[in-house]
Structure 1
C-alpha cells in the first residue's frame, strides 16, 4: 500500500472514530445472562478501537482521545457533585420538616411562638365562694391555710381571708354549736366550749385516755422553754424525764428539732397537733406564767442552787 493510500485510510478511520463518552452504553449482563443485574457496564470492546498506525498519526489520535476522556470525567464529577449537593439540600429540608404535618419542628429562637396562657378561672360570686369554703372546712382533718384554699378554689387569695372572717362572725351571731376559728396557722371548725361536756360524753364514752401529771408538767416545760434539751427539762422538774419525753413524742405532741451546738444533745419542741388540740394559733397565744408563779420564786431558785 502506498503512503498516499495509507494517509487516506487513517483519515477515514479518524473521521469514523467515536469518543467513548459519546458511545451508547450497552445493557449490562450478569454472568447468568440476566440483563437486569446490578453489574457495572462493560467497557468498550478493544477490537472496536482502531489500531494506531506506525507513524505519528495514531499518537495524535490517542492524545485527543485521552484529553476527551479527561474532559468527560471532569464533567461527570461536576454532575455528581451537583447531584450530591441537591440531595443534601433535600435531606436537610426533610429533616427540618415534620413528616406528619410538614411544619418545621425547630424554629429560630426569635421566631418561636409563646405558648398561649391558660384561661383564668371564672370568679365565684360571694354565695358560691361561701358554700365552697364551708364544704371544704367540713371535711378537713387539720387546719387549712388561706393560701391552700385559694389554690384549690382558683380564686384570689385576698378574697379568702375576709370571707372566712364573715363566715366565722355569722356562725357566732347565729349561735351555732360550732365555730370557725384560726388554729395552727389555718382555719378549722370546732365545737363551742360550752358544749364540750356533751361532746366528751359522746366521743369518749368513759374511755378517756389522759396524760399523767408528769407528762403534763413535761409538756408545759417544753411549751414554754422550747427548743429545750432533755437534760434541761430534767433539771427544771428535778426528775429524769426520758420516758415521759418518749411518751409525748409517740402521742405526736412533741418532736425533735435539731441538736444543741455545744453539747450535741437533741432539742425538742411542741408540734402542730399540740396547737390544734389546745385550739391555739401559735405558741405566742399561751397564757403568761407570771400570774401562776409564787411570790418567793427568786428565793426558791437560790435555795435550789
Structure 2
C-alpha cells in the first residue's frame, strides 16, 4: 500500500470537517493527483475488507462514515446514550452554544478556555446541537441548538432562555457579549433536571474528549 495511506488516514481522523484533496495534498506535500490515487486505493481497501467504516467524498472533501449496514446497531447505542446525564463540561458547552448561536467550535473553545471538539461531537450525537451553516468569512462550521434541545428543556423557543446561565465559566464577559447581540430574555434555567449529572466527558482544562 502507498506510503501516503497512513498520513492521510491520520489527517482525516483528526479533522472535524471534510478535507479536500487539495488540502490533503498541501498537508502531506505531494501533488493532488497522488492524493486522489491514494484515496481511491483506501476506498477500495475499506470496501474489500468490509471495515465498519467507509471513506466517502462529500461535496469537495473526504470524510469517514460508518457503514449503512451498521445503522441499527449504532442507532440503538446512541439511544441508550441519550439516557445518560450530561456532565458540567457538556452543560457549559451547551449553554454557550444556546446563548451565542450560531457559533463555531473555535469560538466555543475560546469562551470556555478548553478544546471542546469531543464535547461538541457528543452533543451532536445526543441531538442537542446541530450544524446550522458556515461562517461567511472563515468558512468554519457553525452550530446551534436543536428542536430536541427545546423539548428536553421544556421550552417553546430560545426566547424563553434566562438572562444568563449558571453553568457558563465567564458569566460577566458572556453577559456583555449577549447584551451586545441583543439576545437577553427571561425564562427557565438552561440546566434542567433531565440534563444535570455526569457522563463520559471529563472537564479537563486542556481538552475535553467525548
> Quick check: which has more Rg, 1 or 2?
1
Per the normalisation by structure 1, the TM-score is 0.28
Per the normalisation by structure 2, the TM-score is 0.40
